[in-house]
Amino acid sequence: MIQPASRTKLIELSLIRKMFEVTNPDAINLGIGEPDFDVPQNIKDAMKKSIDENITHYSPNKGYIELREEIVKKFKKDNGINTDPENVIVTVGASEALYISAQAFMEPGDEILLPDPSFLLYKSVINLAGGSIVPVDCKMENEFKLKAEDVLEKITPKTKAIFLNSPSNPTGAVMEKEDIKAIADLSMDHNFLIISDEIYEKIIYDKKHYSPAKYSDNVITINGFSKTYAMTGLRIGYMTANDEHTEELFKVHQNSIACSNSTAQLGAYEALTGPQDDVKKMVGEFQRRRDLIVSRLNGMGYETVNAEGAFYVFPKIEDENFVQKAAEAGVITVPGSAFGENGKNHIRMSYANSYENIEKAMDILEERVVNG
């Protein structure tokens, strides 16, 4: 066998995807991290039109200028971020944006602060770039929210970057404004980069979202259309940073992806400029499901933080065999250990499934796993 590159040896195949291999075809999936809604009709129509009009060729490397101009308006209106179309890159989902951020700025010897627990892709892109991970605890007693004082304790002269994700996957935690601002101030004082993954920004219930780029120039802000507009399979995201950072990001993007999908870009333009009614309905339904699943889990005796955003809950479940027993009973979940050391004794459950299926899943867990 030809030996693989050493950097790939640190990468583990996704535990989330592994759970999808369950043999029971009738299992209720509370593991999937994508909305169970369809792409809004106006966005579908825009993409169909783009194909009919043969707008299917290469776009500019950074994306169509019309789309980037709308993204600039969105950043200003929603996030208080002043940017420029030349500092916006349209990417193949937020995943590409995360990858090129790591490739452009991380190398061996760099320390990267990583909230624990956090989305498993962050660890992978850091490892592929050769950075060293320094975990920062997101404790259940703090509702899994990253606190600025905990970040400060981990900063050293080798600190190169920190990942922020609010609302959070896997916990649904929404960071407080004072912590966002304080970490932004730290990034300027200690000269490190904030990679802010804001993909769940619009799926938020009881809180307000704040972007660190409003308070610091050392921020790469990443977002996309997968979660807000249920466009997961269309792989369309975007990012912005200051002039110098964008130039380095663009080098990696141009020499790996070239440009994102032209048809998806036309859909993204319609998503930003068209009606937002479907988004509001989706978020309202997610909140209804959140209330159901938290209530049911707490009723079973599983301590569960009332997640304020995204579509995940992260109950404390100390039964090491819970995931396997749940799968055998017909409910797919994801072990919290996939998301970091602090994920142990927790389970991630997604409520991106119908209200009726969540009710049924909770009944199965109560009858066959808890009381079985």
Total count of residues recorded for the chain: 372
CA distances from 187 to 151, 201, 210, 215, 218 (A): 10, 21, 16, 10, 6
Whether the per-residue pLDDT at 15 is higher than 60: the answer is: no
Give the pair of three-digit tokens for residue 235: 């792989």
Domain ends where: 237, 256, 273?
273
Report the pLDDT value the prediction gives residue 20, as an integer from 0 to 100: 54
Whether the per-residue pLDDT at 99 is higher than 60: the answer is: yes
Same domain, 20 and 142: no
Same domain, 14 and 78: no
Domain ends where: 238, 273, 308?
273
The secondary structure of residue 200, as a DSSP letter, is T
Report the pLDDT value the prediction gives residue 206, as an integer from 0 to 100: 86
CATH code of the domain covering residue 52? 3.40.640.10
CATH code of the domain covering residue 315? 3.90.1150.10
Domain count, the chain: 2
Contact 145, 179 (CB under 8 A): yes
Same domain, 67 and 116: yes
Q: Which of 315, 370, 324, 323 is nearest to 346 (CA)?
A: 315
Residue 69 belongs to a domain: yes
For residue 31, the enclosing domain spans 6-39+277-370
Same domain, 230 and 347: no
* 51: Cα within 13 Å, side-chain hemisphere: 9
Report the pLDDT value the prediction gives residue 70, as an integer from 0 to 100: 98
Mean of per-residue pLDDT scores for the chain: 95
Same domain, 158 and 105: yes
Same domain, 124 and 97: yes
Q: What is the mean pLDDT of the segment spanning 75-99? A: 98
Residue position matching structure tokens 């789309």: 67
Bridge partners (DSSP) of residue 223 are 238
Q: What is the mean pLDDT of the segment spanning 337-366? A: 97
Same domain, 248 and 100: yes
| 35: preceding bond cis by omega (within 30 degrees) | no
Find all residues with CB under 8 Å of 122, minimum gap 6, and list them. Answer: 98, 114, 163, 165, 197
Report the pLDDT value the prediction gives residue 240, as an integer from 0 to 100: 98
Bridge partners (DSSP) of residue 316 are 346
Contact 192, 165 (CB under 8 A): no
Domain ends where: 209, 244, 273?
273
Same domain, 206 and 297: no
Report the pLDDT value the prediction gives residue 26, as an integer from 0 to 100: 84
Residue 1 belongs to a domain: no
Residue 53 belongs to a domain: yes
Same domain, 170 and 182: yes
